[in-house]
Structure 1
Amino acid sequence: MRTPDNALHLEQVNERLQKTMLWVLIAALPGALTLFWFFGWGVLITWLIAAGAALLVEAAVLALRRQALLPTLNDYSALVSATLLALALPPYSPWWVTALASGFALLFGKHLYGGIGNNPFNPAMLGYAFVLVSFPQQMNHWPATHGLSLAGGLQHIFGLDLSGLSNPDAWSQATALDVLRINKSFTVDELFARSPAFGSLGGRGVEWVNLAFLAGGALLLQRRLIGWHAPVGMLGSLFLISLLCWNGSGSDSNGSPLFHWFTGATMLGAFFIVTEPVSGPDNPRARLLFGVGTGLIIYVIRTWGAYPDGVAFAVLLMNLAVPALERLTASPATPGEHS
């Protein structure tokens, strides 16, 4: 039976959740706008598809459970998961890939375990990993900077024929991580000088996107909506292992620490993914180790794995390790306490 006190407490919890989710969306806006600036309309179209699919699945599940729609839809959690997923997906992914990823994230990453607050895995990364494993060819088309026009983006994403419009031959290209992984001939300096995938520090355009997500992460830290432990652990371990394994600018180089910081989804992962409170540890020391493990796995996948980045798989693997991390870092019981 719900008492007035319990109802008031639940309302306060929902208000705090709504406020937190709203600030996460605000903090992600600089990175999203920078992605849009460099890669075009596909960023916005993909976000609209992901958000629509997430809200549709959320509403359908709540209707099947005969639960009220508005209190859950108004907490912005589904929109946050869809946003983080859309920001990680290639901007011109086919519409059905984005919709499947978003629907899978909400259904199997959230509601299968009872809804928000119960998910052992990060929903956005679960959806991303699902389509990456299932449709690797469709997930391997990252656009060159400035991407396609609005008409070109709609044509490519939805498979439309807009008055005979044809997409440019070189609208997509390998990412800087892919180029570095398969490189056997050129030094890193030569890659930065001649490859269109490379910018000044990391991937062309992506380095600015990472800086924008870093700024958004700083906002979340300043407002105390996330802790520093997981981001520092991830960025610190990624920096350290890339420094230890860095062999200069030779053709067999694995990339400098700054390259790994400002390429791929590093800052998105550090401040918006590994800080997800439900699927991560509660203990601050465990959160630090969670971040450390994530950074190490990201580097291993980027350098020796077959997938383009590694953030999603690293986070999901560390989600599995959360119970062990909590036990490892738990404070010893004081005399007289019972375990």
Structure 2
Amino acid sequence: MSPLEAVDERLQQAMNRVLLATVPGMLMLFWLYGWGVLINLLLTVATALAVEAVVMRLRNRPLAVLSDGSALVTATLLGLALPPYCPWWLTVSAAASALLFGKHLFGGVGKNPFNPAMLGFALVLVSFPQQMTHWPSTHGLDLLGGLQQIFGFNVGQTPDAWVQATALDSLRINKSLTMDELFAGNPAFGHFGGRGVEWVNLAFLAGGVFLLQRRVFGWHAPVGMLASLFLISLLCWNGSGSDSHGSPLFHLLTGASMLGAFFIITEPVSGAKSPMARLMFGVGVGLLTYLIRTWGGYPDGVAFAVLLMNLCVPALERFVAARQQQAAP
């Protein structure tokens, strides 16, 4: 086996394990939101594979490179991050943008400076903010209702009040209610975080632990992100008053915290390479996520935090290399 074939085989094996690790979170999202999650995934996967095949043909490269699994992983993570039941054209646009602008614009696998899934997510979030903030209530829609909402089919009447603000969005715009009142009366809040979303985050945590145990990636970036998110939310937490920004547990179990920690920032190409730089990268993502959630214009912020830290990777690597050189005898 040639060195190139060995690298391709290891890449494919790692991608397969990442896909397997997403299954618990995927099942929890389906339980929480219904068919829109699966429709999103079908649209992102089909679009990503089609774009990948067209680009490979234009570049006169064999279609066998599709088997490395990188496009499938990007599409899966993007499909899990997008709001269920968003319009089909938005999902297709996000997937196509992720592959074209996040991957092939820079030369393909191994050359992208930005996380492709988060770049596609951020582009549609900035371009279509209204559609991207329409998250369904926990009961979701049935299959026919989901098809009607996504594709505009006239197959029945969409239930009233099937969308609601997320827990992070409700907290960001809250001016008068205490945290206890929000958890007691707002349907978006569960026991510790967003209703149902806390279980989704625990499912992604389980998948992330599986990947750590299989040594698909190191602990530095996930621990750095979760520790910094916990610490800054603890330092800024002022109890349950109306001006509270949420407890550390709330921030860890709400939004895309665990998906970001174990499946997004661990992307090996756009992230840092050395262990210390990966730790600093994760710390930066955690801090920026909290700052955007609390004082920014978007309720979650994981995507923008990752992309901003992608820009900082060269500086982090140079800083770590300089420190190691100074410490060398």
User: Structure 1-normalised TM-score?
Assistant: 0.95
Q: What are the superposed Cα offsets for residues 139-163 of structure 1, whole Å, 9 maximum, x if unpaired?
A: 010010020000000000001111x
Which amino acid in structure 1 is aligned with residue 43 of structure 2?
I
Partner residue, 2:258: 267
1:64 pairs with 2:55: no
Superposition deviation, residue 335 in structure 1: 8.4
Q: Secondary structure at the match of 2:29?
A: helix
1:91 pairs with 2:84: yes
Which amino acid in structure 2 is aligned with residue 36 of structure 1?
F
Q: Using the alignment, how far apart are the partners of 1:204 and 1:334 within structure 2?
A: 49
1:326 pairs with 2:326: no
Relative to structure 1, the CA distance from residue 34 to residue 335 in structure 2 (aligned partners, 3 Å threshold; closer, same or farther) is: closer
Q: Using the alignment, how far apart are the partners of 2:210 and 2:84 within structure 1?
A: 25
Which amino acid in structure 2 is aligned with residue 268 of structure 1?
L
Partner residue, 2:276: 285
Off by >3 Å, runs of 4+ in structure 1: 333-336
Partner residue, 2:209: 218
1:313 to 289, 304, 309: 304
Q: Identify unmatched segments of 5+ residues in structure 1.
A: 1-6
Q: What are the superposed Cα offsets for residues 54-112 of structure 1, whole Å, 9 maximum, x if unpaired?
A: 00100000000011002x11011000000000111001110000000000000110011
1:120 pairs with 2:116: no
Which amino acid in structure 2 is aligned with residue 25 of structure 1?
L
Q: Using the alignment, how far apart are the partners of 1:335 and 1:234 within structure 2?
A: 28
Q: Using the alignment, how far apart are the partners of 1:287 and 1:14 within structure 2?
A: 23
Which amino acid in structure 1 is aligned with residue 24 of structure 2?
P
Aligned residues: 327
Superposition deviation, residue 334 in structure 1: 8.8
Superposition deviation, residue 287 in structure 1: 0.3
Partner residue, 1:29: 23
Q: Identify unmatched segments of 5+ residues in structure 2.
A: none
Q: Using the alignment, how far apart are the partners of 1:280 and 1:124 within structure 2?
A: 13
Which amino acid in structure 1 is aligned with residue 34 of structure 2?
G
Q: What are the superposed Cα offsets for residues 284-307 of structure 1, whole Å, 9 maximum, x if unpaired?
A: 000000000000000000001111
Partner residue, 2:41: 47
Q: Using the alignment, how far apart are the partners of 2:293 and 2:326 within structure 1?
A: 40
Q: Using the alignment, how far apart are the partners of 1:216 and 1:199 within structure 2?
A: 22
Q: Using the alignment, how far apart are the partners of 2:211 and 2:290 within structure 1?
A: 25
Q: Using the alignment, how far apart are the partners of 2:159 and 2:151 within structure 1?
A: 17
Whether the aligned pair in 1 keeps the contact of 2:224 and 2:280 (CA below 8 Å) is yes
1:11 pairs with 2:5: yes
Q: Using the alignment, how far apart are the partners of 2:150 and 2:299 within structure 1?
A: 21
Q: What are the superposed Cα offsets for residues 168-213 of structure 1, whole Å, 9 maximum, x if unpaired?
A: 1111100000101111111101100110000001000100000000
1:100 pairs with 2:89: no
Partner residue, 1:144: 137
Partner residue, 1:3: none
1:195 to 186, 189, 201: 186
Q: What are the superposed Cα offsets for residues 14-49 of structure 1, whole Å, 9 maximum, x if unpaired?
A: 110000000000001100110000100000000000
Which amino acid in structure 2 is aligned with residue 281 of structure 1?
A
Q: Using the alignment, how far apart are the partners of 2:60 and 2:217 within structure 1?
A: 33
Superposition deviation, residue 308 in structure 1: 2.2
Q: Using the alignment, how far apart are the partners of 2:16 and 2:303 within structure 1?
A: 23
Q: Secondary structure at the match of 1:243?
A: helix
Which amino acid in structure 1 is aligned with residue 54 of structure 2?
A
Relative to structure 1, the CA distance from residue 12 to residue 151 in structure 2 (aligned partners, 3 Å threshold; closer, same or farther) is: same
Q: Using the alignment, how far apart are the partners of 2:299 and 2:240 within structure 1?
A: 21
Which amino acid in structure 2 is aligned with residue 10 of structure 1?
L
Fraction of identical pairs, as percent:
71
Q: What are the superposed Cα offsets for residues 103-149 of structure 1, whole Å, 9 maximum, x if unpaired?
A: 00001100111111000000000000000000001101001002000
Partner residue, 1:156: 149
Whether the aligned pair in 1 keeps the contact of 2:172 and 2:299 (CA below 8 Å) is no
**CA RMSD between the two structures:** 1.2
Whether the aligned pair in 1 keeps the contact of 2:280 and 2:316 (CA below 8 Å) is yes
Q: Using the alignment, how far apart are the partners of 2:30 and 2:113 within structure 1?
A: 31
Whether the aligned pair in 1 keeps the contact of 2:226 and 2:261 (CA below 8 Å) is yes
1:80 to 73, 93, 104: 73
Q: Secondary structure at the match of 1:93?
A: coil
Superposition deviation, residue 333 in structure 1: 6.8
Partner residue, 1:174: 165
